Chain A
């Protein structure tokens, strides 16, 4: 009964480093998305995917890449980390439009 699994839970990076945040879901959901949550700003959509092989940009895509090679996995890549990317990142999935999204527990990322 895993749902949406995000790894790692915490990460500290230096400016300029790259890394990949992992997200996997076992519910056979077509739709997956990445959000960042910053104090006082709610959640902002970074990238999303409506199915394997299909991705699109959300509200704040700059500095991030995604790919969707399988239905289960939707990794988020930071190409060259910047302090402005310090945030909590959430991955979510849902099966159909209009259905509730299921969230992972989040990744707390600090960029020094």
Chain B
């Protein structure tokens, strides 16, 4: 069946550090891939998406590339800020259903 695996958190970084949050998936066909972010006390917001192989999604300085050969969709940001502290979820869309990773909590220290 379809599944999404994320690196476990929490991930703790200093401000301006480089961020990578790993995400790999198992799926039949060619699902769309998403990163969602959940800030403390809030709901989930779409951060970025990619709908086919080699697509790069980007938003707010975050990027992720749909790698079919490695079945990965790693989230990266060149210089994180304290305001990026949140929980990040990787997900894939199989028809209408979203398959979720467990989430990675990111803590950025000033």
Contact = CB atoms under 8 A, between A and B. Distances in A.
Size category of the A interface is: 20 to 34
Interface in B41-60: 42-46, 49, 51
B61 to A, nearest CB: 19
A94 B96 contact: yes
B73 interface: no
Interface string B73-110: 00000000000000001000101111011110000000
Contacts of B98: 33, 43, 45, 92, 101
Interface of B: 31-32, 34, 42-46, 49, 51, 89, 93, 95-98, 100-103
22 contacts: A42-B100, A42-B101, A42-B103, A43-B44, A43-B98, A90-B44, A92-B98, A97-B93, A97-B95, A98-B32, A98-B51, A98-B93, A99-B32, A99-B93, A100-B46, A100-B49, A102-B46, A103-B44, A103-B45, A104-B43, A105-B43, A106-B42
Interface of A: 31, 33, 40-45, 48, 50, 58, 90, 92, 94, 97-106
